[in-house]
Structure 1
Amino acid sequence: MSPAKRLERRLKRLGQNELDSVLRRHARYRNGRLGGARAVLSFFDLGWLDFHGSDLTGADLTGAVLARARLDQAVLNNASLFAADLSGASLNGASLVKSDLRGAGLRGASLVEATLTDADLRESALAERGEFDRDLHWLDVGSVPSELQQADFAGADLSRARCAGAVCVNANFSDAVLTGTQLVRCNLRGANFAGADLRGADLSWSRMENVNLRNALLSGVTLRMTELSGVDTRGALTDRPAARALDQLDAPLNVLLARHSEWIESSSAAGQRLDIAGFDMRAAGDLSGVDMTAVLASGTIWCGLDLSAARFAAGRLIDGDFRFAVLRNADLRGADLRQAKLRSTCLAGADLRPLVLGEGRMVRTRLSGCDLRYADLAGAKLRDVDLREADLSNARLDRADLRGADLAGASLPDDLTVIARTARSE
């Protein structure tokens, strides 16, 4: 039980109208307007109240009770939630960048697609000044761990978050980004990390009995003295190549890329077309801006690579694994990406329109059957793309151009229903 919960009898209850007034004053404070005041709600009872979409950057909510509160899409960057009770709260899509959540209670809270980069979720101890002597008095003997039991962090970004000593029993981190996250001495029994990106995470001295790590990215993970009994790592990618290694290529990759460029420039009269089908490309490092037009790369692994502004037009990329890769502003016109794994991939601003070949001929980009859950397609050019049977659940599609797209049988975000119907009718 958190310190705030133990002091609940001393907390002042705030009503929704009073809260709305505080939020308005904080907005003025944030904008430097007259009449503004920073939101200081330390040790207030705010349970069940509605904060949806509010900007509480830098607010003080130390020791506050926010149980079952609605904080979806709220901005709590650099806010103090030290020892706050957020049990059962809804924080879906909320931003908690660099927030102080030490000793917070998040049992059963929902943080689907929330952003907690650089957040502090370590164990803590809470003190207050005496009413008469003004000296600090501990409210708890010893440190209090952050309680994340049964919390839902699906698709959340916890990059570089510090979670040492947290209790995460049966928590859901599926498809979450935990790159460089400190999970030292955590109780992770029964936690679900299926499909999560744990590259560079530190799990030393943690309890991980019966943890689900299926299809997770585990390269660079530190597991010093970690309890791993019953862990399921089927399909997980470690530091070892999961397919053919790059040292099995006929020549160094840079040489093959030079030959491929010659092949493109000469319209296949010279050079050699690049064939990397079935290879694990993760050891290639930064491939941003690379020209792989018309590449043969079916079944190739690209997980976590920077492929920004890369050119894959007319490429054969069937069943490729692009999870957590960055394809921002990439050229994918006319590419064949059927059944590709694009979950949590950044495709913001990517060009997936048909490739025009002249004389009225064009090649349509094919994404049928693709897994695009949690993918970032903001501003992507998806006109006339084949998305039949694709899974776009939780995908970000704001400003994406879907006119003429074939979405038959596709799973779509709830807020895309109207757009999808329009696209099908054109």
Structure 2
Amino acid sequence: MTQRPIDTGSARTDLTTHLAMHSLFLKNKGGRRLELRLANLEGTRLRGFDLSQATLLACNLSQTDLEGGKFRETDLANSLFIGANLKHCDFTRANLRGARFYKTDLAQARLDGSDLRVGNMTLHRKGAGGTEVVSREFVTDLSFCNLEEASLEDAVVRKVRLRGVNMRNANLSGADFSESDLQGVVLLGARMQGANFLHADIKDATFTVNDTTRRLFQGLPAFTEHLNNLAEIDRIVAAHEEWVESGGKAGTRADFAGRKMKGVDLRGRELSTISFRGADLTGAQLGHAKLAASDFGGANLAYADLSGTDLRGAGFEGATLRHTVLEAANMTDLQLRGGGALPVRLHDAAVEWVDFSGAQIPPERLKGVKLRDCTLPDQVTP
């Protein structure tokens, strides 16, 4: 005998009972499968619940706390998850077509084999001339979500809006991102073997140029533009190194103020006294570079690696240092030839989740600086 699924509509008063019935259904102990349509569950706290195989069509789950929940093979088409907490959730093989996750935290979530393509909804509107049937398409939207260390293995993410998404260290193996909007996405450390980015828009994306990205992004206009930009930056740095080595008699001093430098690899290079004011250095690889007296005022150094760098006298006023690595960096005062010293300046910088371990920095240079969840040097106390 086939059981009739529950349809609670927008009612929330009996939700606890319906969840209990669904739990019994999953355990093959009777109960009934949960089915919600157009239900408003905004702000609900359902941490750790198992809603696998349920039907939640066009439901409002915005601002909900669903951390650790299970949605395996759940039908969530056209539902809203705006601002929800979905950390560690399991959406394996879920139907997420047309769902909107704007600014949602999906860190370490599993979306393996899920379907995130465009969703469709049929609406019946009553008017003077009778009932009008209207069909609408909804593009799945994960813009500005956090998918760090999430797994989207073999997921269908075709024609999805993914602007500004953080997918650092995510597993994207075999996923289909063809024709998707990936502008400004962070792909540092992501596993992308077998992924498909055909006709995807990766403008301003942050990634490391290697054999994998060359193979996956080959032919994309934004990738060609990115490679040309990196080649030009390399030429400018070479001229700057010549300028430093010759004492200003040859070459040209570099100026990268306001420049787009996402994911640039300048490890070990001579970059002293360069202005990076207002530059976008998201994910830049600057390990062991010489950056003494350089100006990073207002620059974006999110996810950048400055480990082991010479940062004596560098200025970071108003800069963004978020998930930035400054491990073993030399951030002491720069002794000037004419006498005196130039200190490292961090005034008004946004310093969050920064690794200062082993860095050489006078404790007084961090006084008054707002440090959020940072790893500090041994000689500095929070």
TM-score by length of 1: 0.51
Report whether the alignment pairs 1:59 with 2:49.
yes
Give yes or no for contact 1:83–1:105 (8 Å, CA) kept in 2: yes
State the partner residue of 1:75.
65
Distance in 2 (CA, whole Å) between partners of 1:72 and 1:377 is: 29
State the partner residue of 1:160.
149
Could you tell me which amino acid in structure 2 is paired with residue 146 of structure 1? D
Q: CA deviation at 1:203?
A: 2.4
Provide closer, same or farther for how the CA distance between residues 100 and 220 of structure 1 changes in structure 2, counting only shifts above 3 A. farther
Q: CA deviation at 1:72?
A: 0.8
Distance in 1 (CA, whole Å) between partners of 2:191 and 2:228 is: 14
Distance in 1 (CA, whole Å) between partners of 2:161 and 2:266 is: 31
Provide closer, same or farther for how the CA distance between residues 89 and 377 of structure 1 changes in structure 2, counting only shifts above 3 A. farther
Give yes or no for contact 1:205–1:224 (8 Å, CA) kept in 2: no
Q: How does 1:35-114 map to 2 (within 5 A)?
A: 40=23, 43-114=33-104
Q: Which of these residues, 189, 192, 204, is aligned with residue 178 of structure 2?
A: 189
Give yes or no for contact 1:200–1:220 (8 Å, CA) kept in 2: no
Provide closer, same or farther for how the CA distance between residues 154 and 207 of structure 1 changes in structure 2, counting only shifts above 3 A. same
Give yes or no for contact 2:72–2:92 (8 Å, CA) kept in 1: yes
Distance in 1 (CA, whole Å) between partners of 2:41 and 2:49 is: 13
State the partner residue of 2:115.
146
State the partner residue of 1:412.
none
Task: Name the stretch that deviates more: 88-97 or 146-155.
Answer: 146-155
Could you tell me which amino acid in structure 2 is paired with residue 116 of structure 1? L
Q: Which of these residues, 193, 206, 213, is aligned with residue 204 of structure 1?
A: 193
Could you tell me which amino acid in structure 1 is paired with residue 150 of structure 2? A
Q: CA deviation at 1:56?
A: 1.3
**1:243 aligned counterpart, secondary structure:** helix
Distance in 1 (CA, whole Å) between partners of 2:50 and 2:174 is: 28
More strand by share: 2
Distance in 2 (CA, whole Å) between partners of 1:101 and 1:239 is: 38
Distance in 2 (CA, whole Å) between partners of 1:11 and 1:224 is: 46
Q: CA deviation at 1:71?
A: 0.8
Q: 1:1-49: CA deviations, max 9, x gaps?
A: xxxxxxx9842223544556529x99xxxxxxxxxx8984863102211
**1:167 aligned counterpart, secondary structure:** coil
Q: CA deviation at 1:63?
A: 0.8
Task: Name the stretch that deviates more: 187-196 or 8-17.
Answer: 8-17
Number of corresponding residues: 275
State the partner residue of 2:208.
219
Q: CA deviation at 1:177?
A: 0.5
Could you tell me which amino acid in structure 1 is paired with residue 109 of structure 2? A
Report whether the alignment pairs 1:14 with 2:8.
yes
Provide closer, same or farther for how the CA distance between residues 296 and 222 of structure 1 changes in structure 2, counting only shifts above 3 A. closer
Distance in 2 (CA, whole Å) between partners of 1:82 and 1:60 is: 8
Give yes or no for contact 1:114–1:157 (8 Å, CA) kept in 2: yes
Percent of paired sites with the same residue: 17
Provide closer, same or farther for how the CA distance between residues 246 and 117 of structure 1 changes in structure 2, counting only shifts above 3 A. farther
Distance in 2 (CA, whole Å) between partners of 1:62 and 1:233 is: 39
Give yes or no for contact 1:22–1:39 (8 Å, CA) kept in 2: no
Distance in 2 (CA, whole Å) between partners of 1:236 and 1:192 is: 17
User: Unaligned regions of 5+ residues in structure 1, if any?
Assistant: 1-7, 27-36, 124-144, 254-274, 286-291, 308-312, 348-364, 368-375, 379-426
Q: CA deviation at 1:295?
A: 8.0
Distance in 1 (CA, whole Å) between partners of 2:228 and 2:168 is: 14
**2:37 aligned counterpart, secondary structure:** coil
Distance in 2 (CA, whole Å) between partners of 1:211 and 1:223 is: 16
Distance in 2 (CA, whole Å) between partners of 1:222 and 1:10 is: 53
**1:178 aligned counterpart, secondary structure:** coil
Distance in 2 (CA, whole Å) between partners of 1:110 and 1:65 is: 16
Distance in 2 (CA, whole Å) between partners of 1:184 and 1:225 is: 16
Q: CA deviation at 1:204?
A: 2.1
Distance in 1 (CA, whole Å) between partners of 2:193 and 2:285 is: 28
Distance in 1 (CA, whole Å) between partners of 2:265 and 2:239 is: 12
Q: 1:153-172: CA deviations, max 9, x gaps?
A: 11011112111111111001
Provide closer, same or farther for how the CA distance between residues 196 and 75 of structure 1 changes in structure 2, counting only shifts above 3 A. same
Report whether the alignment pairs 1:177 with 2:166.
yes
Distance in 1 (CA, whole Å) between partners of 2:279 and 2:55 is: 49
State the partner residue of 1:303.
282
**1:219 aligned counterpart, secondary structure:** coil
Q: CA deviation at 1:193?
A: 0.6
Give yes or no for contact 1:107–1:148 (8 Å, CA) kept in 2: yes
Could you tell me which amino acid in structure 2 is paired with residue 79 of structure 1? G
Distance in 2 (CA, whole Å) between partners of 1:377 and 1:80 is: 34
Give yes or no for contact 1:63–1:84 (8 Å, CA) kept in 2: yes
**2:142 aligned counterpart, secondary structure:** coil
**1:233 aligned counterpart, secondary structure:** helix
Provide closer, same or farther for how the CA distance between residues 224 and 60 of structure 1 changes in structure 2, counting only shifts above 3 A. same
Q: CA deviation at 1:107?
A: 0.7
Q: CA deviation at 1:106?
A: 0.8
Q: CA deviation at 1:187?
A: 2.0
